[in-house]
Amino acid sequence: MIPLAIPNLTGNESLYLQECIQSTFVSSVGPFVNRFEEMVAKAAGTKYAVSTSSGTTGLHLALTTLGVKQNDLVIIPSFTFIATANAVSHCGASPWIFDISPDTWCLDAELLAETLSKETVQSEKGLIHKTSGRRVAAIMPVHILGMPCDIDPLIEIANRFSLPTVADGAAALGACYKERKLGEFFDCTVYSFNGNKTVTAGGGGIIATNDERLAKLARHLSTTARVGTEYHHDMVGFNYRITNVQAAVGCAQMERIDEFVSKKREIRHRYNENLRNMEGVGLFPDPAWSYNACWFSGLVLPQHYVVSESCEALKVLGIEARSFWKPIHLQPPYEGAPATSQRVAEGLWQRIITLPCSTNLNEHDQDYIISCIKTVLR
Ligand SMILES: *Cc1c(COP(=O)(O)O)cnc(C)c1O
C-alpha cells in the first residue's frame, strides 16, 4: 500500500535521540529545545519561537497570551482541522465560524469585513457581537494545507477593528507570502510538528512571534508560570513545553526543511500537470502571492463522484487516499456556535480527496497513482 503521508526519518534523528539518552536530558530542558526554537524562528522569519507540546497546545497558549477569555468569541474559518476550534474552546471561548473564499479555501476577508461591520459594535469592553453580547477577542486565520491565506486584507481588517491575530500555520512552515516568511505578519503564528506534518518532532508545536512581550508571556505560561527558583507561581500556567527528545527529532528534521518542502512542491506539481486536463477535476488552490509549502496534495472530484467510493477504488489498487476535514460548523461540539452561511465550504468538502505525498514518494509510484486516478475517474 502506498501510504498517504509518513515521516522521513533518515537524517540525524537516531543520532540525536542517542544523545538525549546518553546525556539524560529527556525532559523539557535540554540543548535540543533551544536549538529547535532557533531553527524554527529562522524558518518562520521571527525573532522569537516558543516551543509547546503540540500545535493544539500552541494555539491554546497563543490565544491565552493574547487575552482570550471565558465567554469570548474568536473568529475562525469553517474549513480547518478541529484543533483550531478546540483551542478556542479550551480558553472557555467559542469560535465564530466564517465561510471560506472559493479561490483560496481560506477565511473570506470580504465576508469578514462585511459581517463585522453589520454584526458588531465597538464599546469600552472591546468589539461586541450584537446578537449574543459577547466580546470578539481575536481573529484566527488558517494557512490551509501549507498554503498562506491572503494576509494583507486580513491584517487591514484586524487593524480596523483592533483585533489581535493568531495564525494557525500548523502545516505551513517553509511557506512565504509575497516573498516574506509567514511569521512576520500576524501577532503570533503557530506551527505543528505532529507526525504527519512536513517537518515532525513526533509531536510538538511552536509559537512564532516578533513581539518580545508575547514571547516572554507565552514562555512563562508554558512552564507553570513559575517565578524564580522556588515554588512560587504568579498566574495559572500550563505544562505545555516540548521535551528534549521531541526537539532532538525536530532538529534533525529542520536540517532538511528546504529539501522536504521542495519535494512536497514537486509532488504537487506532478499531480497538477497530469490531472489538470481531466474533465471536471479541480486542483488545490495555488495563488500567485504564495510560495506554497504544499503539505498535502490531492484533487477536487468531478461533481457526480463520491469521495468514499473513489478512495475505496484506489485502496483496491494499493493506494491510500483520504477524504478531507469535515467543516467545523458540522461537528457536533460546534453545532450551536455562531456561524455565517457556509455555501463555499459545504459545496467543497465532500469533493476533496488527498493523495499520497510523503517526502520519500518516488516518481515511479507517483506515476502509478496518476494512472490509477485516470482509471478510477474514467
Ligand atoms: C495539524 C494541525 C493542527 C494541530 O496540530 P497538533 O500538533 O496535531 O496538535 C492544527 N491545525 C491545523 C490546520 C493542522 O493541520
Question: In residues, how long is the chain?
Answer: 378
Which amino acid, residue 147? M
CA of 229 from ligand 1 middle (Å) equals 33
| CA angle (285 as vertex; 279, 287 as ends), nearest 5 | 130
Ligand 1 atom nearest the C-alpha of 87 is 10
- Examine the pLDDT at 246 and tell me if it is beyond 90: yes
CA of 364 from ligand 1 middle (Å) equals 30
Q: Mean pLDDT of all residues in the chain?
A: 97
Tell me what the mean pLDDT of segment 15-27 comes to.
97
Which amino acid, residue 280? G
Return the SS3 of 170. coil
Q: Write the DSSP string, 106-167.
A: SB-HHHHHHHHHHHEEEETTEEEETTT-PEEEEE--B-GGGPPP-HHHHHHHHHHTT--BEE
pLDDT on residue 248: 98
pLDDT on residue 268: 98
Cell numbers linked to 74: 474568536
Per-residue pLDDT band at 49 (split at 50, 70, 90): very high
CA of 276 from ligand 1 middle (Å) equals 29
- pLDDT tens for 156-167 read 999 999 999 999
Ligand 1 atom nearest the C-alpha of 295 is 15
The answer to whether the Cα torsion of 187, 193, 194, 197 is positive or negative is positive
* 221 touches 238 (CB < 8 A): yes
Cell numbers linked to 90: 479550551
* 43 touches 174 (CB < 8 A): yes
Smallest CA-to-CA distance from 73 within 334, 332, 327, 330 is with 334
CA of 376 from ligand 1 middle (Å) equals 31
Nearest CA to ligand 1 atom 14: 170
Residues 59, 71: Cα–Cα separation, whole Å: 17
- Examine the pLDDT at 37 and tell me if it is beyond 90: yes
pLDDT on residue 378: 83
Which amino acid, residue 345? A
**Which parts of 24-81 fold into alpha helices (H)?**
31-44, 55-65
DSSP 54: S
Per-residue pLDDT band at 42 (split at 50, 70, 90): very high
Task: Find the residues whose C-beta lies inside 6 A of ligand 1.
Answer: 54-56, 80-81, 83-84, 142, 168, 170-171, 192, 194, 205
pLDDT on residue 162: 97
The answer to whether the Cα torsion of 363, 364, 369, 375 is positive or negative is positive
Smallest CA-to-CA distance from 39 within 210, 265, 254 is with 254
**Which parts of the chain fold into alpha helices (H)?**
13-23, 31-44, 55-65, 82-90, 109-119, 151-160, 212-222, 244-254, 257-275, 307-316, 343-348, 363-376
* 119 touches 111 (CB < 8 A): no
Cell numbers linked to 345: 465550504
Return the SS3 of 298. strand
Tell me what the mean pLDDT of segment 230-258 comes to.
97
Ligand 1 atom nearest the C-alpha of 204 is 7
Residues 251, 246: Cα–Cα separation, whole Å: 9
Residues 24, 30: Cα–Cα separation, whole Å: 9
Cell numbers linked to 37: 526554537
* 188 touches 207 (CB < 8 A): yes
Residues 138, 65: Cα–Cα separation, whole Å: 11
CA of 310 from ligand 1 middle (Å) equals 26
Residues 21, 30: Cα–Cα separation, whole Å: 11
* 208 touches 189 (CB < 8 A): yes
Q: What percent of the chain has pLDDT over 90?
A: 99
Q: How far is CA 189 from the centre of its chain?
A: 9
Cell numbers linked to 363: 516518481
Pocket test for ligand 1, best of 189, 192, 246, 253 (most atoms within 8 A of CB): 192
Tell me what the mean pLDDT of segment 340-356 comes to.
96
Nearest CA to ligand 1 atom 2: 170
Ligand 1 atom nearest the C-alpha of 83 is 10
- pLDDT tens for 314-343 read 999 999 999 999 999 999 999 999 999 999
CA of 100 from ligand 1 middle (Å) equals 18
10-13 own/partner pairs: CB under 8 Å, 24+ apart: 10/360, 11/252, 11/253, 11/255, 11/256, 12/251, 12/252, 12/255, 13/248, 13/249, 13/252, 13/253
- Examine the pLDDT at 356 and tell me if it is beyond 90: yes
Strand pairing of 290-291 and 188-192? Answer: unpaired
Whole-model pTM: value is 0.97
